[in-house]
């Protein structure tokens, strides 16, 4: 199952200069998908970018689940930048330290309403924690 | 800010109280009101910086400081490689060598006003700005390798501007020590279409009027006078710098334990300067500095081309180009001894005082131009570095107004369209493709730039030369 933006899976927290993002889900992977939704929603309102479809496959190895969140988000940002678009749907699986994900979205059109560019995911306020409902993944992204 | 945690040194300098066991010192610059308004996180972050190995002198926060990641924004710290000093990716930030290029012109406000609407439209069309917006250049890896080693000199070679103006760019437009091989393929891919782009967030191109001159001698040296139009461009190393920042932040954070460094905050990811890891980051960071210098050179040329279309007789010459997210090797006197130090400035501007040989000859008697970029609705300052700043802050000064409110909070308070209409009524034309971005950048989300500039002068970090009022602003 993939995750697209909704209030239950994605949220934000305060940071003076940048923006704190939160992903929530029943599993760590789902929480990561939610965090990706929150991050890309800063750059474009979901559903408002309707250019040519783009996809990306992300794969990396990481033992530390918190560093894995940062790697996931930064790999998505690099792929989106390379394809000149934004992603809105995410799917991530994990096999031990091996993470495999996919993202789908759309290329920018010249007249799209833009949001704010995210430069990268930082290690500030970085946490991946169990909650009463499942898992929560959060960090500050630099904008 | 909990002021009981600070000791007053003077009206503009505050020392963070520390346990007897801690040798390292952290200082905050600013008047009482500015410091009191800072987030406690600034204190926590600058205190963490003070614990890093090989620190020389105090870790410092400039008057515009606010909560960042790792270092506070406005953080300055110098490290000695011969004392185990470190270089920190978190001390430079993701937007490596973000900075401001300022051009002075032969135009006056009277020249500008009749054409300002059309000029704003043309600049908005000609200056690629905003998330996902690419420039006209599509570059291959060989071109990018050249840019990473040649910086703004590459841009001049391609016809973007004049080589003579590089005298007024830090490092003459090209920093040594860049190693393209230390930059990943992903970083290079991210940059292919991004040369000559402004980016987003707090980046801008502004057409400003010199509203007030504070220091006539320095203003004369800088070629600035009241009523004159100047152009300021705020941007950095774009996707390449962002990718270098993200990659090294994680790799250095993971390597810290192996390198014998205990990090008080993972975001302070660093390595000893004299380690292979430290040298590798340095090579990549210098490559990004050159990319930023080339980017601003291209954007300055694009702005000049558009403006001279409207004003064919006008001259637009570079006043100065200075970065505010860097780590640079500089020779400073500390405890009566000259030492080569790695000075981190994250959201802080280099501010060499009079006589420093790195300053263009034309400015050497008055000090290096320092630019404090304010919000789109208030204004910016040109200052000059002071001798005193050398001993106060390794020749560093504020870089901007500094945020006083989160972007999230700003979005709740302001609406982009309304804000743009209000600014227009006040004679400031905004052009942007992001109403969200405009609201996040609302003038009220920033500290009082007048107070920041006055405190920068009061602290002896730089002296005010001129105040610039925005008239046209292209926002990323």
Summarize pLDDT for B40-67 with one digit per residue, the tens.
999 999 999 999 999 999 999 999 999 9
pLDDT, position B20 = 61
Given an 8 Å threshold on Cβ–Cβ distance, is B436 in contact with A116? yes
DSSP reduced 3-state for B320: strand
From the CA of B214, how many Å to the nearest CA of chain A? 30
pLDDT, position B132 = 82
- Residue whose pair of structure tokens reads 């970085």 in the numeric block: A126
Task: Inform me whether the pLDDT recorded for A1 exceeds 60.
Answer: no
Structural domain containing residue A115: 3-142
- In this prediction, residue B129 has a pLDDT band, given cuts at 50, 70 and 90, of very high
Closest alpha carbon to B240 in B185, B170, B301 = B185
pLDDT, position B18 = 80
Given an 8 Å threshold on Cβ–Cβ distance, is A14 in contact with B406? yes
Residue that wins the pLDDT comparison between B22 and A1: B22
CA distance A75 to A77: 5
Number of domains in chain A: 1
Q: Find the helix or strand (DSSP H, E) in which B86 lies.
A: strand B86-88
Domain-located, residue B277: yes
The residue-averaged pLDDT of B287-312 equals 98
DSSP reduced 3-state for B403: strand
CA distance B395 to A137: 40
Summarize pLDDT for B311-360 with one digit per residue, the tens.
999 999 999 999 999 999 999 999 999 999 999 999 999 999 999 999 99
Distances (CA, A) of B125 to A43, A49, B11, B164, B439: 21, 20, 47, 28, 21
Residue that wins the pLDDT comparison between A49 and B51: B51
pLDDT, position A2 = 60
Q: Least CB-CB distance to A17: which of B68, B242, B434?
A: B68
Give this complex's ipTM: 0.88
Averaged pLDDT score across all residues of chain B: 95
pLDDT, position A5 = 53
Domain-located, residue B437: no
pLDDT, position A7 = 56
Given an 8 Å threshold on Cβ–Cβ distance, is A119 in contact with B193? no
Instruction: Spell out a b/e string for B281-318, using b for 16 or more CB atoms within 10 Å of the CB, else e.
Output: bbbbbbbbbbbbbbbbbbbbbbbbebbeebbeeeebbb
The packing angle between helices B276-310 and B141-150, to 10°, is 90
DSSP reduced 3-state for B274: coil
Contacts of A28 (CB under 8 A, 6+ apart): A65, A94, A128, A135, A137
Given an 8 Å threshold on Cβ–Cβ distance, is B69 in contact with A124? yes
Running DSSP on this structure, what letter comes out for residue B212? Answer: E
- CATH number (domain holding residue B344): 3.90.1860.10
Q: In this structure, what token pair is assigned to residue A56?
A: 């990306």
pLDDT, position B134 = 85
Please answer whether residues B403 and B447 qualify as being in contact, where contact means their C-beta atoms are separated by less than 8 angstroms.
yes
pTM of structure: 0.95
Task: Inform me whether the pLDDT recorded for A24 exceeds 70.
Answer: yes
- In this prediction, residue B367 has a pLDDT band, given cuts at 50, 70 and 90, of very high
The residue-averaged pLDDT of A123-140 equals 95
Closest alpha carbon to A23 in A61, A80, A66, A79 = A66
With an 8 Å Cβ cutoff, is B413 touching chain A? no
Number of domains in chain B: 1
Q: Least CB-CB distance to B69: which of A44, A82, A122?
A: A122
Q: In this structure, what token pair is assigned to residue B124?
A: 């908005």
For testing contact with chain A, the best of B131, B192, B242, B438 (most A CBs within 10 A): B131
- In this prediction, residue B399 has a pLDDT band, given cuts at 50, 70 and 90, of very high
Determine what percent of chain B is predicted with pLDDT higher than 90: 91
pLDDT, position A9 = 87
Closest alpha carbon to A76 in A110, A114, A38 = A38
pLDDT, position A37 = 95
Task: Inform me whether the pLDDT recorded for B92 exceeds 90.
Answer: yes
Summarize pLDDT for B463-473 with one digit per residue, the tens.
999 999 999 99
From the CA of B230, how many Å to the nearest CA of chain A? 27
Question: Among all residues of chain A, which has the CA nearest to that of B254?
Answer: A67
Task: Inform me whether the pLDDT recorded for B439 exceeds 90.
Answer: yes
With an 8 Å Cβ cutoff, is A17 touching chain B? yes
Q: How many CA atoms lie within 13 A of B1 on its CB side?
A: 26
Given an 8 Å threshold on Cβ–Cβ distance, is A19 in contact with B407? yes
The residue-averaged pLDDT of A58-64 equals 96
DSSP reduced 3-state for B72: strand
With an 8 Å Cβ cutoff, is B128 touching chain A? no
**Residues of chain B found within 8 Å of residue A122, distances taken between Cβ atoms:** 69-70, 94, 249, 267
The residue-averaged pLDDT of A99-115 equals 89
Domain-located, residue B123: yes
Please answer whether residues B86 and B79 qualify as being in contact, where contact means their C-beta atoms are separated by less than 8 angstroms.
yes
Please answer whether residues B342 and B78 qualify as being in contact, where contact means their C-beta atoms are separated by less than 8 angstroms.
yes
Structural domain containing residue B312: 3-404+446-475
Q: In this structure, what token pair is assigned to residue B57?
A: 């002198």
Residue that wins the pLDDT comparison between B256 and B283: B283
Q: Least CB-CB distance to A143: which of B132, B190, B201?
A: B201
Task: Inform me whether the pLDDT recorded for B186 exceeds 70.
Answer: yes
Residue that wins the pLDDT comparison between A9 and B179: B179
Given an 8 Å threshold on Cβ–Cβ distance, is A14 in contact with B408? yes
- CATH number (domain holding residue A122): 3.55.10.10
Task: Inform me whether the pLDDT recorded for A111 exceeds 90.
Answer: no
Where in the sequence numbering do the catalytic residues of B fall?
A: 399
Given an 8 Å threshold on Cβ–Cβ distance, is B190 in contact with A82? yes
Q: Least CB-CB distance to A124: which of B267, B435, B476?
A: B267
Q: Find the helix or strand (DSSP H, E) in which B453 lies.
A: helix B449-458
The residue-averaged pLDDT of B201-223 equals 97
pLDDT, position B68 = 87
């Amino acid at each position: 199952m993939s995750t697209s933006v909704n209030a239950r899976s994605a949220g934000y927290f305060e940071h003076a200069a940048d923006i704190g993002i939160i992903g929530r889900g029943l599993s760590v992977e789902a929480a990561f998908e939610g965090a990706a939704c929150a991050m890309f929603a800063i750059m474009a309102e979901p559903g408002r970018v309707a250019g040519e479809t783009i996809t990306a496959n992300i794969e990396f190895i990481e033992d530390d689940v918190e560093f894995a969140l940062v790697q996931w988000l930064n790999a998505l940002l690099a792929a989106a930048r390379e394809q000149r678009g934004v992603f809105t749907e995410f799917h991530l699986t994990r096999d031990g330290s091996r993470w495999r994900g996919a993202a789908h979205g759309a290329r920018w059109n010249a007249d799209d309403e833009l949001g704010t560019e995210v430069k990268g995911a930082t290690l500030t306020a970085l946490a991946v924690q169990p909650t009463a409902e499942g898992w929560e993944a959060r960090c500050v992204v630099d904008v | 800010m909990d002021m009981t945690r600070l000791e007053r040194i003077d009206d503009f300098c505050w020392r963070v109280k520390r346990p007897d066991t801690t040798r390292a010192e952290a200082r905050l610059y600013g008047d009482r009101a500015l410091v009191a308004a800072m987030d406690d996180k600034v204190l926590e972050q600058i205190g963490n910086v003070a614990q890093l190995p090989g620190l020389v002198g105090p870790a410092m926060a400039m008057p515009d400081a606010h909560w960042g990641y790792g270092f506070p924004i406005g953080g300055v710290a110098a490290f000695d490689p011969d004392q185990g000093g470190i270089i920190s990716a978190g001390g430079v930030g993701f937007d490596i060598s973000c900075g401001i290029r300022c051009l002075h012109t032969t135009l006056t406000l009277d020249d500008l006003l009749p054409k300002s609407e059309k000029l704003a439209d043309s600049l908005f069309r000609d200056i690629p700005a905003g998330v996902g917006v690419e420039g006209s250049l599509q570059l291959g890896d060989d071109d990018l390798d050249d840019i990473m080693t040649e910086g703004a000199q590459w841009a001049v070679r391609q016809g973007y501007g004049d080589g003579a103006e590089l005298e007024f760019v830090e490092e003459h437009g090209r920093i040594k020590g860049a190693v393209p091989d230390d930059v990943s393929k992903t970083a290079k891919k991210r940059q292919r279409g991004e040369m000559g782009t402004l980016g987003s967030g707090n980046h801008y191109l502004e057409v400003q009027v010199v509203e007030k001159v504070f220091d006539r001698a320095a203003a004369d040296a800088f070629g600035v006078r009241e009523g004159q139009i100047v152009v300021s461009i705020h941007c950095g190393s774009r996707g390449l710098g962002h990718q270098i920042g993200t990659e090294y932040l994680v790799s250095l954070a993971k390597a810290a334990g192996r390198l014998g460094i205990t990090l008080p905050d993972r975001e302070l990811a660093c390595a000893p300067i004299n380690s292979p890891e430290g040298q590798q980051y340095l090579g990549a960071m210098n490559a990004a500095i050159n990319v930023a210098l080339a980017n601003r050179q291209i954007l300055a040329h694009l702005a000049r081309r558009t403006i001279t279309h409207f004003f064919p007789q006008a001259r637009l010459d570079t006043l100065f180009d200075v970065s505010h997210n860097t780590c640079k090797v500089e020779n400073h006197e500390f405890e009566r001894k000259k030492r080569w130090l790695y000075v981190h400035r994250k959201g802080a501007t280099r501010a060499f005082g009079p006589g420093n040989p790195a300053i263009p000859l034309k400015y050497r008697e008055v000090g290096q131009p320092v630019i404090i970029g304010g919000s789109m609705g208030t204004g910016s300052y040109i200052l000059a570095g002071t001798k005193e700043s050398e001993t106060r802050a390794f020749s560093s000064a504020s870089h901007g107004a500094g945020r006083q409110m989160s972007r999230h909070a700003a979005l709740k308070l302001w609406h982009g369209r309304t804000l743009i209409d209000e600014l227009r009524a006040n004679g400031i034309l905004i052009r942007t493709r992001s109403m969200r971005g405009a609201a996040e950048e609302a003038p009220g989300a920033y500290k009082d730039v007048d107070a920041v500039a006055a405190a920068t002068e009061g602290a002896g970090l730089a002296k005010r030369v001129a105040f610039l009022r925005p008239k046209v602003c292209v926002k990323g």
